[in-house]
A and B are shown apart, each in its own frame.
Chain A
């Protein structure tokens, strides 16, 4: 079997594909790559189907060695890549011969890079997906130094693309929030969201992006009220008892007992995979 060996990791390297939607009624989070467009792109660059599993690398620090000839591609924010000391680029297929060692440094901005290998990462699937779900523990263990990662059979050609650049991240993030389903639990929800300025908390993870800043005030009839558990979706802006919003990401719990003031549209979720703690966040109510 074709493999790569993990020589070193940074803070976190996880196997991720597009997740396991469809099991939320059993309490299973969707999981999957937080920056799904970046994983899809990395897969396309090496000739894979977009849904194959790759590596989600938090803040670089990855070194891997090819045990078989393979093509890899790294997407996400701009980051330095070397192969046996020679500088290589992101967003382009890189051929590795047996024994070649690839090093991915910390990205210059953003948080997460995605590495696809032709044939895909072929660890065992669980509930139809190879994604590691950090909330429920479903899926493969976190990738560690010394791991030998199995690869699938390549089916496409690592053709790359002509012109691709790492996406730049704004210094301040403005997120659209489609109000509801529980905006009526809050006092003038649209005005409160528009007026506030939050920052990304360092306690954010794959479960949710936590925001620090002003607490959202409940409307008088709902003060101190408990909400019967209800289903939540990825992108839901849940407001726990302390009033500070949490935006649910891929590994979010499937139900929650706090009101959801609004939902960030799917098209804006990829950015949330990349915003560093401390980034200023504004919430723009729509709908």
Chain B
């Protein structure tokens, strides 16, 4: 079932409500719970009849519920020396140093993951840093690159093609399948970036 709502806050409300219900054992057949930008996918095991339970939980969801963030706070150290820093500063109408101050001066939350394992789409970007993607995507973005695109910021867990404007890099290991928590950033987490020399 794909649940469509009007905002990222509502996505988070639906995701949190379904995750709570699953933890409480009310959705025993839930196989995947995947938030995205305006939708949440709730997949149940085929033939399990779990859709009825899902509908029951959904009718009780308060979309305006301020989600009680039981989530962790993650701090990502960033060297603000990305190849698109000058472009981003110019677009924002600020100096290069101010990009780092703007980007590291606010708290973000992980709206959803996708594109690659451990790639979190973080929201909370200051208006000046809401900028378009590159006209021509790079064929290779190094692992740890920190970028911005539209309403999102994020860090590439591994090297891959990518079209985000790159403002810095982090040494944090964003994804390691052998860790207890494979992804450093999971939906709902609060994130701050800390400027490093």
Contact = CB atoms under 8 A, between A and B. Distances in A.
Interface of A: 21-28, 126-127, 136-138, 181, 228-233, 253-255, 266
A136 B113 CA distance: 13
A136 B117 contact: yes
Contacts of A230: 2, 36-39, 41
A254 B177 contact: no
A231 B34 contact: yes
B117 A27 contact: yes
B158 interface: yes
A255 B2 contact: no
B32 A253 contact: no
B64 to A, nearest CB: 20
Contact of B177 (A24, A127, A181): A127
Contacts of A229: 36-37, 112, 114, 121
Nearest to A25: B34
Contacts of A126: 177-178
21 contacts: A24-B32, A24-B34, A25-B34, A25-B112, A25-B186, A25-B187, A26-B118, A26-B175, A27-B113, A27-B116, A27-B118, A28-B182, A127-B182, A228-B36, A230-B36, A231-B36, A231-B39, A231-B40, A253-B115, A254-B113, A255-B36
B111 to A, nearest CB: 10
Chain A CB count within 10 A is highest, among B37, B118, B121, for B37
Contacts of B187: 25
Contact of A181 (B2, B31, B116, B118): B2
B36 A26 contact: no
B88 to A, nearest CB: 21
Contact of A138 (B36, B37, B41, B177): B177
